[in-house]
Amino acid sequence: MVTRPTTPKSAEELYEIVSQVGEGTFGKVYKARNTGSGKFVALKRIRMEAERDGFPVTAMREIKLLQSLRHDNIVRLYEMMVSNGSVYMVFEYMDHDLTGILSQNQFSFTDAHLKSLCRQMLAGLAYLHHKGVVHRDIKGSNILINNRGELKLGDFGLARFYQKRRKSDYTNRVITLWYRPPELLFGTTVYGPEVDMWSAGCIMLELFTKKPVFQGNDEIHQLDVIYKIIGTPTPERWPEVTSLPWYELVKPKEVVLNHFRELFQKWLSPAALDLAEQLLAYDPAKRVTALQALDAPYFTQEQPRAEAPVGLSTLEGEWHELETKRERAKKRRKTESGT
Amino acid sequence: MATDYWASSHYKRWIFDRATIKQARALDLQYVEDPEYIDFLGIFFANLISKLGKKLSMRQRAIATATVFFRRFYMKNAYCETDPFIVIAACCYVAAKAEEFPVHIKNVVTEARLLFANDEYGIKSFPSDNSKLAEMEFYLVDDLECDLIAFHPYRTLMTLCGREGSSVSHDTEAGELGAGVQDGPRYWGTGEGKLELQESALQMAWFIINDTYRSDLCLIYPPHLIAIAAIYLTLVFHESTHESLKSAQSWQYTPFLALKFKPS
């Protein structure tokens, strides 16, 4: 007979689901306990039954990508598991996500902690981009943090390999609106890792302000919100903007000046402001790369030095966007019924 | 580094010795008079995958991946216990997705039915229902243990011999693993130290690699070794290349003197 490596136990037997912790691009994410070792993992179930076309191509892409990535700041895919007509991705368990952890008040982050989180995010991105991968969905709920203060990028459902030497044509319907860079809002389909760097800039500000900075309702409004903060793009700041596909449709109606530094100086140190400004450069060609960002004076010169928020282990509960959303909905219901 | 071959599941889990490969065919062997027929079947199925792949306008690398998936699947299953025709369709379908060149499931079903039903094969039983193919895809991905990455000799060939403007389609495609990734100093892939092959010789090496998929070689040897062997065979068989090597009198040493290394 054929000798085949057999999976000793099915997913149900091996892992015991504890709770739901998130909603990925293509399926629910659960916290589960390995019944053998007692260790926690995150199980991401790939929904197959709803897929008339079989195995979702996004899931296939995520599996392929994660199998070929290994870095301290990228979530580890331990293994794949097939059970009862479902495919599960088994990840290392992360206690919190950024959106969740910024919404709690028990543990307050010092500037050194925030610097560490920012640095870890950039290190993950530098590795990804070095490997020729664009994430395309950097946002608070995809940035995972554990109680040891380690930050890891997760959810690669929209990520893909890109050509380093030649920029290809991709879809511009990527990245959650609030973190979407202006060139995508102007309709470009030719882009590279710079799109992640804009999102990283948004996240960096969010670390300090505790909430997303560019909260648009739709694509047009999103641009307006950006203009209000960093001003409208001028030919000096971004020469190619006028040649982008949707420029004529969505171009700014009036000139707005850049208020970035005055708006954020109460939150960020001068070197942090410099870096955030470079990450949020209009012109993708001038936007700082992850590798350059890691070398910014904010990390190399300005005090305090980065320090991982190891104290998170004292934090009660686990903080994910999902729970934060539920909590908010509960509160809303309460206040509504109260009035 | 996991984008490299040595860290991949391809190397770690899907390279076998000949005895193991023979063992995988044990059940099928009971149904054939001559063990060689098993090899013929392998050729037959590889040709079918290639035909179906071309009908779906899949690129050569995606067809190669489909063939690798097919051979991996039959390391765990027997021809006589499965329907190789639906396995072939599923392999093409999964490989197309895995290589970032997705085709619609309906197209795969239609093309497979058309191809398999023609007089040459006479298979009329291929299910017209998409869900049957989707189901097979699920079992396939399961038996492949979700290892959807296959390395191919084409990349080594083009890295060593590729040229700008060559008619051989060698562009690394979007979605190819680690395309354009350079880890640390090395000169291969930098354009330095290329083996200067004539266009037709390069073509021949490419075709030799295509032919290797008709055998179990992709389960036995690492892809770069297969590429080197294909280059070697080309130097021997490609007439004008062979002639020029001879006249350069370097033949008495080794054809690899033709490699013009310029270490940077």
In a domain? residue A288: yes
Number of H helices, E strands in chain B: 13, 0
Above pLDDT 90, what percent of chain B? Answer: 63
Are residues A115 and A195 both part of a single domain?
yes
Are residues A85 and A118 both part of a single domain?
no
**Which of A69, A80, A165 comes nearest B180 by C-beta?**
A165
What are the tens digits of pLDDT across the range B128-165? Answer: 999 899 999 999 999 999 999 999 999 889 888 876 54
Q: Which residue has the higher pLDDT, B190 or A153?
A: A153
> What is the model's pLDDT at position B252?
52
> What is the model's pLDDT at position A4?
46
Inter-chain touch A3–B177, beta carbons under 8 Å? no
Identify the residue whose tokens are 């040649």. A243
Pick from A319, A308, A305: nearest CA to A73: A308
In a domain? residue A332: no
How do A86-92 and A133-134 pair as beta strands? unpaired
Phi, psi of A144 (to 5 degrees): -100, 145
Boundary residue ending a domain (A92, A110, A138): A92
Q: Which CATH architecture has domain B12-143?
A: Orthogonal Bundle (1.10)
Q: Is A31 annotated as belonging to a binding site?
A: no
Boundary residue ending a domain (A59, A77, A92): A92
Are residues A73 and A154 both part of a single domain?
no
ipTM value for the complex = 0.76
Average model confidence (pLDDT) across chain A: 89
Are residues A21 and A118 both part of a single domain?
no
Give me the torsion for CA of B241, B242, B248, B250, rounded to 10°.
120
With a CB cutoff of 8 Å and minimum separation 6, the contacts of B111 are B52, B55, B56
CATH number at residue A84: 3.30.200.20
Question: Which whole number is the average pLDDT over B192-203?
Answer: 82
What are the tens digits of pLDDT across the range A152-180? Answer: 999 998 888 876 665 667 888 888 899 99
Identify the residue whose tokens are 């991401």. A44
With a CB cutoff of 8 Å and minimum separation 6, the contacts of A38 are none
B98 touches chain A (CB under 8 A): yes
Residues of A near B (CB-CB distance < 8 A)? 1-5, 48, 51-55, 57, 60-61, 63-64, 67-70, 80, 82, 85, 87, 130-132, 160-165, 168
Pick from A65, A212, A218: nearest CA to A139: A212
Nearest-Cα distance to chain A for B141, in Å, is: 9
Question: Which whole number is the average pLDDT over A256-268?
Answer: 95
Are residues A105 and A174 both part of a single domain?
yes
Lateral strand order in the sheet of A151-153: A96-97, A143-145, A151-153
Confidence of residue B2 (pLDDT cuts 50, 70, 90): very low
Q: What domain range includes position A189?
A: 96-311
Q: Is A72 a catalytic residue?
A: no
Give the whole-angstrom CA distance, residue A45 versus residue B34.
Answer: 46
Q: Where are the alpha helices (DSSP H) in chain A?
A: 11-14, 57-67, 98-102, 111-130, 182-185, 194-209, 219-230, 247-250, 260-264, 270-279, 290-294, 297-300, 321-338
Tell me the CA distances in angstroms from B264 to A164, B162, B188, B192, B194, one per residue in order. Answer: 22, 18, 10, 7, 12
Question: Which whole number is the average pLDDT over A65-76?
Answer: 93
Inter-chain touch A68–B24, beta carbons under 8 Å? no
Are residues A243 and A295 both part of a single domain?
yes
User: What is the amino acid identity at position A192?
Assistant: G
In a domain? residue A19: yes
Phi, psi of A89 (to 5 degrees): -100, 130
Give the whole-angstrom CA distance, residue A138 versus residue A121.
Answer: 10
Active-site residue among A137, A218, A224, A274? Answer: A137
